[in-house]
Chain A
């Protein structure tokens, strides 16, 4: 290693440019311990799973195009809803943000790599096996589980071997997440460059630090819930069986004790990406940095105290309902602070609207709508009416798709020049945004109406009065699905034949990967740490 202080890493670029850890071809990717390679693996893996889960969503929407059973039978329909949810949450969205974390955290804090480089390799390479197990459950006797991604007992006890495959897949996914999180926490706490104090870190690193703690705390709870399900199924225990002294509702408490923090595990890194993109295209520092850190921490703590708002209709005592209602509405305060901070960052900036900024604004607009429908659902009486209806489906897709997915798109367009050294096609990027925006609302806005009017979720068939909105929703779904193929085309086109990116593609971007590293970022960066004033 060079002893010369070399903040731009150019000397090393020559030394390391030609070898990627000694292997080439597929072995490079299997053996890699490089955070950038692993980040790339995570992102491609998550995109593949996004297409798999999306295909399932299109089958679901096709069946729901009109009343009656046409395309899939009710068993397969339930299998598809289960697998669509599990694959999108654990296979698509979560790995996507771990991919961002791998690529960006070392570069943003001035570290040469992640703290545990070999464990990092293992964290990723568990995922393809877990995903295979998950998808294989379709081919087991009885097929995949027909229980919804929430896997409520005792329906889980009635399932075939596919349920066990799913349980083991979740164990593996959880291991991967926990290892990834420990890696992120250790990297951020121990490997920051001299002068990079915690309160100087880019907001993306902050949100990931907090998310990683949430993951370490929440994933074992899920592992416990599915393990108890496993022993109830095969080893004669009765954790969730009242006849043996257990309680089916206990499962829901355990699941949602994981499940609600999980919502923020997905949302917080998305907030982090948005907090990088909006200041860059406003050419203005992020408004309220410190309050952003506090708000994120407050959301994380509150997220462990609101789980039973998913369970108002189980019949908990009135004091329980009131406690969870009050605690849930409190989350609106720090979330509001974040939204206000983003708008204030734009206020009196010098705004331009390249694709990353468009997706960030789309995120801000639609995520806030998802937040408001969340406030509506936090109120016990209204929730009792809307629980398990399409209103809930609409609500969480505003948070998961318009929230997390749009922010991931913003991040991809934002950092693609840094990662590849090439520019994406701006016109096509804008098409991708506008089509996604229109079709997304076509799918999910009308689902609010369906839920209000009384359409239950997770049904393969429905009464006649729900037909119109379902047809609009299905047409929107196909439009949205095809639009994502355009995204794939844009990314491939960028990598293969994109124009060379300028050294600093975004004039307002000010974190270390933009200010201290060349474009594209060299394979090894910050072998000698930069000094932050």
Chain B
């Protein structure tokens, strides 16, 4: 196999690349703070909910940073100015009802200012009604099964398994760009349609997660739950199982291809013509 005879230099190349990434990381921290946005912040959102999550997170981080700097500004001023080595004598006050009421009430007001806008997002996130397409995602140890239940493509069913070769995991072959984030049969959905994902599981609890969609829903054996997304950009989006489900928990990714409507129609036609051999996923997985 070609991958087995990787040139001996590949590893040291990989190492110097990783050194370069380190340097880049440090430089980014030191200089711009934006160059590495993809690596230290939430992934770029492609659904309205994911965009809301972004703005809620930024809003809260801003508030929190201001409070943090304020409170510890006081502390560090005290550390600087009120030290014994400078001859500072200790005052002996130990209560002040006014300030104690203030620092109870003001945080309460700030909390209200946080949860009011967030409540709207929570309600929107939960609204799975009126979907264009409904897909059942079943978690198995350790793969995902998809069944299109409603809308264009109804009846399509297949299993979706990690396609990263074992040699890459064991370090016997160089790792691909999408190492651990590639599957043999990705989920395909059309752009701009409300897709409802119904989750369940066959064995233990799994969790269906696509960060770019802002969607994470536990898949619980014997129980049915749902979530939804409406992708606004075509592309391939990748996530991983998010609930510890045994040995290969780290090896059951979720890959979703968002395509245009004509592409989706073509894909549906092709799937109907060549149904997946494992169409009856519930028996196939066992």
A interface list, Cβ under 8 A from B: 66-70, 74-75, 78, 146-148, 152, 154-155, 158, 241-243, 247-249, 282-291, 313-315, 317-318, 321-322, 325-326, 329-330, 332-333, 336-337, 339-340, 343-353, 361, 364-365, 368-369, 372, 375-376, 379-382, 384-385, 387-389, 449, 452-454, 456, 458-469, 471-472, 508
Closest residue to B52 on the A side, CB-wise? A381
Closest A residue to B22 by beta carbon equals: A468
Separation of A191 and B53 alpha carbons in the complex (Å): 53
Q: Which residue of B lies closest to A287 (CB)?
A: B94
Stretch of B130-138, B147-155, B213-221 contacting A (4+ beta carbons < 8 Å): B213-221
Which listed residue, B68, B88, B104, B125, touches A333 by the CB 8 Å rule? B104
A461, B126: Cβ atoms closer than 8 Å: no
Shortest 4 CB-CB distances between A and B: which pairs? A242-B222, A459-B250, A315-B225, A449-B40
A343-B74, A368-B68 in contact; A68/B170 too (CB < 8 A)? yes
CB contacts (< 8 Å) of A333 on chain B: these are: 104, 107-108, 111
- Of the listed residues B52, B92, B180, B239, the one surrounded by the most CB atoms of chain A closer than 10 A to its CB is B180
Contact A381/B221 with A453-B40, A463-B178 known, Cβ cut-off 8 Å: no
Looking at chain A's contact residues, is the secondary structure mostly helix, strand, loop, or mixed? Answer: helix
Q: Name the CB-closest residue of B to A352.
A: B84
Does A381 contact B83, Cβ atoms closer than 8 Å?
no
Q: State in angstroms the CA–CA spacing of A462 and B175 once bound together.
A: 11
Chain A residue with minimal CB distance to B40?
A449
Whether A152 and B205, one on each chain, are in contact in the complex, defined by CB atoms closer than 8 angstroms, is: yes
Is B35 on the interface with A (CB-CB < 8 A)? no
- Asked if A74 and B40 sit within 8 Å, CB to CB, the answer is no
Q: Which B residues are closer than 8 A to A by beta carbons?
A: 18, 21-22, 25, 38-43, 49-50, 52-53, 56-57, 60-61, 64, 67-68, 71-72, 74-75, 78-79, 82-85, 88-96, 99-100, 103-104, 107-108, 111, 114-115, 118-119, 121-123, 125-126, 168-171, 175, 177-181, 199, 203-205, 207, 209, 211, 214-218, 220-223, 225-227, 239-251
A384 contacts B216, C-beta separation under 8 Å: yes
Minimum C-beta distance from B128 to chain A (A): 10
Q: Is A372 touching B68 in the complex (CB atoms < 8 A)?
A: yes
Contacting residue for B214 out of A248, A346, A384, CB 8 A: A384
Q: Are B21 and A454 in contact (CB-based, < 8 A)? A: no
CB-based contact B41/A453 at 8 Å: yes
**CB pair A286 B94 closer than 8 Å:** yes
Which among B61, B119, B205, B249 is the interface contact of A459 at CB below 8 angstroms? B249
A350 touching B83, Cβ below 8 Å: yes
Given contacts A349-B91, A471-B22, contact A315 B217 (CB under 8 A): yes
* Residues on the B chain within 8 Å of A290, using CB: 95
Q: Are A284 and B90 in contact (CB under 8 A)?
A: yes
